Amino acid sequence: MAQPVIYDTCLLSHVAEIGYLHILDFLYKDRPEPRWTPAVKREVTKGAAIHVFCKQILALTWLGEPQEPQDTNAVLHLRNQLSSQDDPQTANMGEAESIILAREVNGSFMTNDFGAYYRAGEKQYLAPNRVFSACNALNEAREYGKLSPIEVEEAHNLIRAKRRMICDCRLKLP
Amino acid sequence: MLAKELAGLLDMSEATISEIENNKRSVKAYEIAEIADALGISAIALFDPNSFSSSIPVFARTGGASTSTEKVQRVVRWYADFKEILDPHIQRDLELFNARPRVEIGEDFLKQSKDLAAWCNEKLEGWRTSDDKFMALKFEIEQKFGFDIVLIDAGLEEILGASLTSAEFPLIFINSSILKQRALFTLAHELGHMLSVTDSPLILDYKLKDENNVEKFANAFAAEFLMPESLVKEAYERHQFAGQFLEELLKTCGVSWQSLIYRLHNLRLINSKVRSVLLEIGALGYQAYVLDKNKLEVDLLPYEVPLKAAPGSILAEAAKRAFIAGDLGVNPTLSMSGFTEEQLASLYPPPGATSTEALDVDLEEFKNMGVTTEVVEAPSLTDENRVYA
């Protein structure tokens, strides 16, 4: 049985910003909910005051209702693990909730945040085979014929032009 | 803080705050964090009353706290939140600290501070001959007493330092934005707190004023520790009250002009009138006066390299060990160790390598830290090994 894929704010906003949200819908719409958490929705809602792409995320019906992880203590401790000394205590809450929720529902976690990506890949959380990035989604879309290799490369370049991107695919990009 | 005031700081209604207070509504993790940030306390302390964070004083925002004070408080609670994670990785030697002369601060605090300072001067002797007295003393205290000294860039506002006097997690914080001579006095003052206070876990120091016996004790201790009476009087015997006398003491003790002049007055080597004049004209004025009158060149204003934010050495080593063991994340390790991202990345094995190979990069340093290089399975991030759930 297919398992849920939980997205964090970083992943959703990077993919939304380059206009590729439909890829997530195509690839994972048949997977069961949950797909996001209250903290992620909160972060996207705050972002909607500034960014149009955040409004597009909020308008997605297939994201469904956010689900809160049961283990709040684990969320707070993991959030600390993802944050530096100068961060407010709300920083990285979306990533922390998403990782703990993915662990609780035996799902996967998709992020473009470096710290969250590597932390989630540790055995005590999800292990590497349950953590993915936008790079993986783009390549999966290519395998299904939804995107051409040129479109995948273009999407990589678009994300890289705006943000840092986790990329472990074989694309030889400048 | 009233529910109405808290609601004003948060994107929540007063009714919602009231429901949360009365257990009529569950609280989401991000709401706990938002409330904790608004109150200026640790989210973990707010959620878990049995945590170490909740055992140190609540830094509730009262409206009067400055940005620099809030920064120090934030860093204190940030370290406290990691105490349980770091504990298994901390290697500190508290033998000397535990052997310190016990102090009951009372009316005879002057004599007590003098005795304790004499004991400290016997134990901490290396820093005085160093060119960088502050960093040398910091390192010597960490190594010999087993507690960390963290330098925080808290800006040029009023806070000078703080002491977390918990025997379980002893920490000194110094504002790195202040002048080095002042920072040295502050460090000695905080050392006085650490060695004498047991019933007040956190002490925040602003202007090191003699507000109560605890502060008087710490000031008297700092003065005697940095400028021992015997050392000052020996120098006086050699030079009498000449330019070289002050130059020698400033260099030997690493203190500010102001601290030295007050010390000379307290030791009755100058009277209050001379003290006032010397404080009024400052080191520069006195230097010009000596040159003009005696044709004597003295250097009373040595250039000091400014301090910068720096971690405590014991916790930095514990953070690196915790990172290698997978107990501590990248961001807290960077903050706690003072490592750059590149240095930290060198501890992470490249694809296909064992962590032992990665550790070889910096093996000498880790040997010095006493870290064992046990083999840990390297996480593989290659596509071939990925299994879509």
User: In this structure, are residues B101 and B115 in contact, taking their beta carbons and an 8 Å threshold?
Assistant: yes
Q: What is the pLDDT of residues B158-215, one digit of tens each?
A: 789 999 988 889 999 999 998 899 999 999 999 999 999 876 778 888 877 777 888 9
Contact A38 B30 (CB under 8 A): yes
Q: What is the pLDDT of residue B135?
A: 94
| CB-nearest partner of B48 from A73, A121, A123 | A73
Q: Does B382 touch chain A (CB under 8 A)?
A: yes
CA dist., res. B221 & res. B191, Å (int): 9
The identity of residue A7, as a single letter, is Y
Q: What is the pLDDT of residue A170?
A: 55
User: In this structure, are residues B204 and B278 in contact, taking their beta carbons and an 8 Å threshold?
Assistant: no
pLDDT at B385 over 80: no
Spelled out in words, what is the top-level CATH class assigned to the domain A5-160? alpha beta
Shortest CA distance to B337 belongs to which of B364, B359, B310? B310
**Shortest alpha-carbon distance between residue B364 and chain A (Å):** 26
Shortest CA distance to B313 belongs to which of B292, B349, B337, B335? B337
- Test mutation, B331, B334, B336, B387, chain A, max A CBs within 10 A: B331
Q: What is the pLDDT of residue A128?
A: 86
- Confidence bin at B349 (pLDDT 50/70/90): low
- The DSSP annotation for B215-273 comes to HHHHHHHHHHHHS-HHHHHHHHHHH-SSHHHHHHHHHHH---HHHHHHHHHHTTSS-HH
| A105 backbone dihedrals φ, ψ, rounded to 5° | -95, 10
**Which pTM does this prediction carry?**
0.81
Which residues does residue B174 pair with via DSSP β-bridges, in sequence order?
B151, B161
**Does the interface predicted TM-score (ipTM) exceed 0.90?**
no
CA dist., res. B138 & res. B150, Å (int): 9
CA dist., res. B255 & res. B181, Å (int): 5
Give the whole-number percent of chain B exceeding pLDDT 90.
42
Spell out the domain ranges in chain A: 5-160
Which residues does residue B151 pair with via DSSP β-bridges, in sequence order?
B174, B310
Least confident range of A165-169, B99-103, B318-322: A165-169
Q: What is the pLDDT of residues B235-245, one digit of tens each?
A: 998 887 777 88
Sheet holding A131-132, edge to edge: A5-7, A108-110, A131-132
Least confident range of A58-62, B153-157, B328-332: B153-157
| CB-nearest partner of B381 from A81, A96, A128 | A128
Q: Does B383 touch chain A (CB under 8 A)?
A: yes
* Average pLDDT score, chain B: 81
User: In this structure, are residues B277 and B261 in contact, taking their beta carbons and an 8 Å threshold?
Assistant: no
Which residues does residue B80 pair with via DSSP β-bridges, in sequence order?
none
| CB-nearest partner of B47 from A3, A73, A170 | A73
Residues in chain A within 8 Å Cβ distance of B34: 89-90
Contact A85 B388 (CB under 8 A): no
| CB-nearest partner of A90 from B34, B328, B386 | B34
Q: What is the pLDDT of residue A169?
A: 65
User: In this structure, are residues B339 and B215 in contact, taking their beta carbons and an 8 Å threshold?
Assistant: no
pLDDT at B63 over 50: no
**Shortest alpha-carbon distance between residue A3 and chain B (Å):** 6
Give the whole-number percent of chain B exceeding pLDDT 70.
84
Contact A88 B383 (CB under 8 A): no
pLDDT at B367 over 60: no
User: In this structure, are residues A138 and A155 in contact, taking their beta carbons and an 8 Å threshold?
Assistant: yes
Contact A89 B43 (CB under 8 A): yes
pLDDT tens for each residue of chain A, 174 residues long? 688 999 999 999 999 999 999 999 999 988 999 999 999 999 999 999 999 999 999 999 999 999 999 999 999 999 999 998 889 999 999 999 999 999 999 999 999 988 899 889 888 899 888 999 999 999 999 999 999 999 999 998 888 887 777 776 655 443
- Test mutation, A65, A76, A117, chain B, max B CBs within 10 A: A76
User: In this structure, are residues B304 and B181 in contact, taking their beta carbons and an 8 Å threshold?
Assistant: yes
